[in-house]
Chains A and B, each alone.
Chain A
Amino acid sequence: MKPLLDKITYFLRKSLSARLGLWIALFAALIFVAALGFMFAESRQAVRSEAISHATQTLESTVLRVTNILDEVMVATDNTDWLIPRHLDAPDSMFVYSRRILANNPDLNGCSISFEPYYFRDKGRWFSAYSLNENGGIQTTQEGNDEYEYFYMDWYQQAKLLDGPCWTEPYNDFNPKGIFSSDVIASYCKPIRDKEDNYIGTISVDLSLSWLSETISAVKPYPNSYSIMIGEGGTYFVHPDTTKLFYQTIFTETLEHPDPDRTALGHAMQRGEEGMKQLVVNGESCYVFYKPLSTTGWSVAIVCPERDIFAGFNRLRSSVLAIVLVGLLLMLLVFRRIVSRELVPLQQLAGQAKTIASGDFETQLPDDGRIDEIGQLSHSFSEMQSSLVNYVEELKTTTAMKASFENELKVASDIQMGMVPRIFPAFPKRKDIDLYASMTPAKEVGGDLYDFFVQQEKLYFCVGDVSGKGIPASLFMAVTRNMFRIIAQQGHTPAEVAKQINDFITQDNEQNMFVTMFIGCIDLQTGHMDFCNCGHNPPLLDGQFYPLKYTNQPLGLWECDQFSGESIDDVRGRQILVYTDGLNEAENRQMEILGNDRLLELMVGAETLNAEDVIHKLQKAVEKHRDGASPNDDLTLLCVRVITPSEN
C-alpha cells in the first residue's frame, strides 16, 4: 500500500499538469458535494414529508374504518343495557336480553350479562346469562360455576373497577378441550347498576377481531411495509410474524437486549399517542407510524422500511452521483491533457536551461511569439542567458587578473624573504656565534622582520613587528629593515639606531604605521650587550623573561628625542631569544593563545639545545597549538648565543 502511495505522491510531485488537474477536479467535487448535498437533503426531506403524509392518511383511514365497527358494538350494547336494571326482578329475562343482542347484531360472537356473587339469592353464587353465536345459531346458557368463577375474569373486573365501559385486551378463544383457535376475541364491557346506582354486575359483548386483523394486515403503503396492533399491555395482536401473536409484547425483545427507541415507541403507543418514530427493526432502519384505536387502549402501527420510502430517491441519488463521478474523472483527464499541452514550451525551456547550466551559453532559446506568462518567462530566460554570458566573460578576466596578482604576490614574498638573511649557519667561519632565525608570514607577505650582521667584532641583530599585515606591512617592514642595516652599520648604539629609524619613518607616515622592535648589539670580545626595546616583547635570556628597565615607544608613531638603551655585562654562553607576538599569542581554533606560561614551559631545558633546535622546537609547538587553525599573525624567532672558547 505504502509503495503505491509513494508512487502516486511522486507522480503528483513530478507532474504539474496532474497536480493542477487534480486540484481543479477536487474543487469541482467540492462544489458538486455542496450543491448536491443541499439538493439531496431537500429532496429527502420532501420525500420524507410525503411518506409521512401518505402513511398517516393510510393509517387514519384504517383506524376510522375499524373504529366505526367498534362503535357499532358499543351502540348495540348501549341500546340494550338500559333494559337490565328495569328487569332485575326477573333474572331469567337476562337470557332473553343477551340473546337479543346477538340476534340484532349477527357480527357479534357472544354476550354475557353477569352478576355479583349471590346477587340473585335463589340463583346461587353464580349467575351469568351467556349467549354464543355458533354455527349460525345462538346458544344461551348460565356460564358461571366453580370451575369458571367469572367474577375473577378481566372482562368482569375491569368494568367493575374502572367504573365505566371499557374494552378488554384481545384474547385467543379456546374451546373446553383446551384447543386454541386462530380467532382473536375482544370484549366490550360495561358495569350494570341498580336503581340506587350500585354496581351489581357486568355486561360483556364479545367480538371476533378476525376482520380487524385482516383489515389492519392488509394496510401496506410500501412493498415491504407491514402493520401491527398491540394491546394496552403491549401484546401483539396483529403482526406478520404469527409466532409473536399473544406470546410476545412490543417490549419482549428489549428484556434481553435493551432498545430505548423501541421502548419509547411502545410507551407512546400505550399512552394512546399518535405520531411517527424512526427506529431499527430487525437490523433495518424503519419509520413507524402509530395511532390509537378509538377508546380501546389498543394501538395500530405501520412499519415502513426506510429503504422502501426512499427507494426512488436512492435510485436517483445513485445515478446522479455516478454521473458526477464519471464527469469529474473526465474533467481530470481533459484538464490534465490541456495543461500538459500548454506546458510543452515550459518543458522545452527547462531542457534548454539545463543545457545552459552545463556551460553551453550559445544555445538558442525558443521564441514562439507567446506573450503570456510562459512567453514572458522565456524572454526573461533569454535576458538571463545574455547576462550570464557577460558575467562569465567578466569572471574570466577577473580570474586571470587574480592569477596574475597572486603570481606577483609570490614574487613579492620571495623578495621579502630575500631581504632577511636565510642562510644558516649565518657565520660559518666563526665558532663563537650560534645564531638561528626564521620568519613565517601569516599571509603571502608579512610585516615581521629580523636582521643581523657582524661588524668590527660586534654582532648587530634586530627583530621587529609592523602594525597590520599584508602588502602595506611588508613594504613598511622593507623600509625599516633597510634603515636598520644602514644606520647600524654606522656603529651607533641600539638606542641611537632606534632614534634614527624613528626619526626617518615618522616623517610622511600618513598611514600611521609603526613597528615594534628589539635591537641588540653584542661585543663578541667581551660579551657585553647593548640593546634597546621599542615597544616589543621582552626577550628571553636563558629561558626566562628578561626584566626590561625601559620599554620605549614603537618606532614610527611620533618623534622622540631619545630612546633609552640598556645593557648586560656579559652574555657569553647565555641563550638569547627574541620573538614577535606570533609566538606567545598564537591562537588555536578556540581562539586560545599559547601564552607566556606555556612559552616558559617550552624553554625549560632549552639552554642545552643549539639555536636552530630551539627555533624548530618553538615552531613545532606553535603548529601543535594551532591544531590546524590558520596563523593569526606573522611568526618571527631569533635565537643567539655567543660561545666562549672554553665551550668550543
Chain B
Amino acid sequence: MNHASKLILSIAGLVAGFCAGAQERFIFTPQWTPQAQFTGYYVAQEMGFYHDAGLDVDIVHPTASQSALSRIFKNESQATTLQLCQALEVVGSDVPLVNILQTSMNNSMVIVSRRGVDPLTQKGARVGCWAAGFGQLAFCLSDREHLDYDWIPASTPVNLFVKGAIDAALAMSYNEFYQLVQSGMEFDDTSVYRFCDHEYNVQEDGVYMRYDYYINHKEEAQKFAEASRRGWEWAAEHPEEALDIVMKYVRMHHIITNRSMQKLMLAEVLRLQLNRETGEREFRLRPDMVKLASDLMVENGMLLAPVSYEELIAR
C-alpha cells in the first residue's frame, strides 16, 4: 500500500468517525447490576450488532443512588428492562411506557421454604422479598390464598433465609434460587412453589421506553429491539462465548459472583425465553398474560384501572 492510499483511508476513517460521533447516544439501563440476565444486550454491544444497526449504545447500569426507573423518569436513559408487572405499575401511575422488545415468555419467581415444607401451608410466615420491588405476583398470591404472609423487605433475602431469620423467601429461578443452592440449601419439589406452574405465569423481562421518547424515535427503538434480539439469538447459539462477554461486564463492575453461577443463570434465562406451547423463542408480549397480570393487580389494588395490551405495545 502506497502513501496516497494510506492517506485516503485515513481521511475516510476520520469522516466515518465524525459521522458516528454525530449519532445521538442511546443509553440503555438494565434494571439490575451486571449479570447473565442481560446477556443479549452485552452480546449486541460487544459483537457490534448495535453499531451495525447505526446505533451508538451505551449500557449504563443502575447504582444504589439511581435506579433504572429513575433514570428513565429523568430521561437519562432511553430504554430499560422491566418486568411486566413493574411496567404495568408504572403505566398505571400515568407514565406511559412502550414495550419495544419482550424477551421473557415465562415467569421465573419462586417461593422457597425449608426442605419438605410447602410454602402454601405456612400461613402468616415471615417471607423475605426484595425491597426494590419485583414481588407483585407474590403479594397477589398471598392475598388470594389468604396466606397473610409477613413480608420482610430486604436488599436480598438470601442471607436472611440462610441464617434462618425468615421462614421463606422470594427468589428468581435464575438468580437467588441458585444463590441459595450455592449456599448449601437443599430443596425438593414440595419446598419450591413456582409461579409459572400455576395460574400466575406472567411474562417478566421486556425492554421499555417512555412513550413520549418512543413517538419521536420509533426508528431507533426498532433498531435497538432488533439488534438486542439478534444479541439474544446469538447468545442462545453460542452460550460459552456469550458467558465470556457476561463475565467481562461482571468483573468490570466488581460483582460478587462466579462463572458457574452466571452459566446457570444464562441457561435458565434462555429457557424462560421459550414459549411453553411452541418451544420457540418468540420475543413477543402476550395479550393474555398482560390481561392476567393486569387483572391480578387490579384485584390486589396495585392498579386502580386495568392496563391493556394495546397500551403497552409499540404502535
Q: Are A166 and B163 in contact (CB under 8 A)?
A: yes
Q: Which residues of B contact A251 (CB under 8 A)?
A: 181-184
Q: Please tell me if the beta carbons of A158 and B165 are within 8 angstroms of each other in the complex.
A: yes
Question: By the criterion CB–CB under 8 Å, are B164 and A255 in contact?
Answer: no
The answer, yes or no, to whether A246 is at the interface (CB within 8 Å) is: yes
| A247 and B165 contact, Cβ closer than 8 Å, known pairs A233-B184, A263-B184, A267-B184 | no
What are the nearest 9 A-B pairs in CB distance?
A161-B165, A233-B183, A147-B65, A152-B131, A233-B162, A234-B184, A255-B260, A154-B159, A247-B258
CB-CB under 8 A from A246, the residues of chain B are 256
Residues 173-200 of chain B, each 1 if its beta carbon lies under 8 Å from chain A, else 0: 0000010011110000000000000000
A158 touches B160 (CB 8 A): yes
Q: Are A297 and B163 in contact (CB under 8 A)?
A: yes
Residues on the A chain within 8 Å of B256, using CB: 172, 246-247
The answer to whether A153 and B152 have CB atoms under 8 Å apart is no
A157-B160, A158-B163, A234-B182 known; A253+B155 contact, CB < 8 A = no
Q: Does B3 contact A (CB under 8 A)?
A: no
Q: Does A45 contact B (CB under 8 A)?
A: no
B235 within 8 A of partner (CB): no
Chain A hits for B154, CB < 8 A: 152, 154, 157
A162 and B165 within 8 A (CB) = yes
With known contacts A154-B154, A157-B154, A253–B184 Cβ distance under 8 A: no
Nearest-Cβ distance from residue A237 to partner chain B, whole angstroms: 12
Query: Bound complex: CA of A154 vs CA of B165, how far in Å?
Result: 10
Interface residue? B12 (CB, 8 A): no
Contacts of A255 in B (CB 8 A): 178, 181-182, 260-261, 264
Chain A residues, CB < 8 A from B260: 252-253, 255-256
A256 and B263: CB pair below 8 A?
yes
CA distance A234 to B258 in the complex (A): 14
Partner of A249, one of B152, B164, B166, B183: B183
Q: List 18 A-B contacts (CB under 8 A).
A: A152-B131, A152-B153, A157-B152, A157-B154, A157-B165, A158-B163, A161-B152, A161-B165, A232-B162, A233-B184, A247-B256, A249-B182, A249-B183, A252-B182, A255-B181, A255-B182, A263-B184, A297-B163
Instruction: Flag whether A25 is at the interface (Cβ < 8 A).
Output: no
Pairwise interchain contact A154-B155, C-beta atoms closer than 8 A: yes
CA distance A148 to B162 in the complex (A): 23
Q: How many residues of A contact B (CB 8 A)?
A: 36
A210-228 interface mask toward B, CB cutoff 8 Å, 1 = contact, 0 = none?
0000000000000000000
* Known A152-B155, A232-B163, A247-B256; contact A270-B184, beta-carbon cutoff 8 A: yes
Given contacts A157-B152, A247-B257, A267-B184, 12 further A-B contacts (CB under 8 A): A152-B154, A152-B155, A154-B155, A157-B160, A158-B159, A158-B165, A168-B159, A172-B256, A232-B163, A233-B183, A252-B261, A270-B184
A252 surroundings in chain B (CB, below 8 A): 182, 258, 260-261
Residue A124, interface by CB 8 Å:
no
A399 contacts the other chain (Cβ, under 8 Å)?
Answer: no
What 1/0 mask marks residues of chain B from 120 to 155 whose CB sits below 8 Å from any chain A CB? 000000100001000000000000000000001111
> Shortest CB–CB separation between residue B34 and chain A, in angstroms?
13
Contact: B160 with A147, CB < 8 Å? no
For A148, give the chain B residue with the smallest CB separation. Answer: B64
Q: Which residues of A contact B126 (CB under 8 A)?
A: 161
Q: How far is the CA of A255 from the CA of B184 in the complex (A)?
A: 10
**Nearest A residue (CB) for B165:** A161
Instruction: Among B153, B164, B256, B264, find the residue whose CB has the most chain A CB atoms closer than 10 A.
Output: B256
In the complex, per-residue mask of B63-94: 1 if CB is within 8 Å of any chain A CB, else 0: 01100000000000000000000000000000
Question: Within the assembled complex, what's the spacing in Å between the Cα atoms of A379 and B279?
Answer: 97
Bound-complex Cα distance A248 to B262 (A): 12
* Interface presence of A250 (CB below 8 A): yes
Produce 1/0 per residue, B224-259, CB < 8 A to A: 000000000000000000000000000000101110
Is the pair B64, A161 in contact by a Cβ cutoff of 8 Å? Answer: no
Contacts A178-B254, A252-B258 known; A234 to B183 CB distance under 8 Å?
A: yes
B57 within 8 A of A: no
The answer to whether the Cβ of B296 comes within 8 Å of any Cβ in the partner chain is no
A147-B64 contact, Cβ under 8 Å, with A154-B154, A162-B165: yes
Per-residue CB proximity of A161-202 to B under 8 Å, as 1/0? Answer: 110001011001010001010000000000000000000000
Does chain B have a CB within 8 A of A149? yes
Residues of A within 8 A of B153 (CB): 152
CB contacts under 8 Å to B, within A229-249, are 232-235, 246-249
Chain B residues with CB under 8 A of A446: none
Pick the contact of B160 from A149, A161, A247, A248 — CB < 8 Å?
A161
What is the minimal beta-carbon distance from A146 to any residue of chain B, in angstroms?
Answer: 8
Report if B158 contacts A (CB, 8 A).
yes
Say yes or no for A305: interface residue by CB 8 A criterion.
no
Inter-chain contacts of A234 with B (CB < 8 A)? 182-184
| Residue of A233, A235, A297 most packed against chain B (CB within 10 A) | A233
Measured between alpha carbons, how far is A246 from B162 in the docked complex, in Å? 16
Q: Which residues of A contact B65 (CB under 8 A)?
A: 147
| Contact flags B257-276 to A (C-beta < 8 A → 1, else 0) | 11011011000000000000
Is A266's beta carbon under 8 Å from chain B?
yes
- How far is it, in angstroms, between the C-alpha of A255 and the C-alpha of B259 when the chains are bound? 11
Nearest chain B CB to A116's CB is how many angstroms away? 13
**A233 cross-chain contacts in B, Cβ below 8 A:** 158-159, 162, 183-184
List of B residues within 8 angstroms of A172 by Cβ: 256
A253-B155 Cα distance, complex, nearest whole Å = 26
A373-407 toward B: CB 8 Å interface, digit per residue (1/0)?
00000000000000000000000000000000000
Q: Which residues of A contact B64 (CB under 8 A)?
A: 147-148
Q: Find the A residue at minimum CB distance from B161.
A: A233
CA distance A180 to B178 in the complex (A): 24
How many angstroms from the CA of A247 to the CA of B251 in the assembled complex?
11
User: Smallest CB-CB separation from B257: which chain A residue?
Assistant: A247
Residue of A nearest to B162 (CB): A233
Q: How far is the CA of A347 from the CA of B165 in the complex (A)?
A: 92
**B221 to A: closest C-beta gap in Å:** 31
A461 to B55: give the CA distance in the assembly, Å: 142
Judging by beta carbons under 8 Å apart, are B163 and A162 in contact? yes
**Residues in B neighbouring A297, C-beta threshold 8 A:** 163
Tell me if B258 and A162 are in contact (CB < 8 A): no
B66 — nearest CB in chain A belongs to which residue? A147
State whether B131 touches A149 (Cβ < 8 A): yes
Q: Which residues of B contact A169 (CB under 8 A)?
A: 159
Rounded to whole Å, the gap between the CB of A154 and the closest CB of chain B is: 5
Q: What's the minimum C-beta distance from A231 to chain B, rounded to whole angstroms?
A: 9
Interface centre among B155, B159, B261 (most CB of A within 10 A): B159
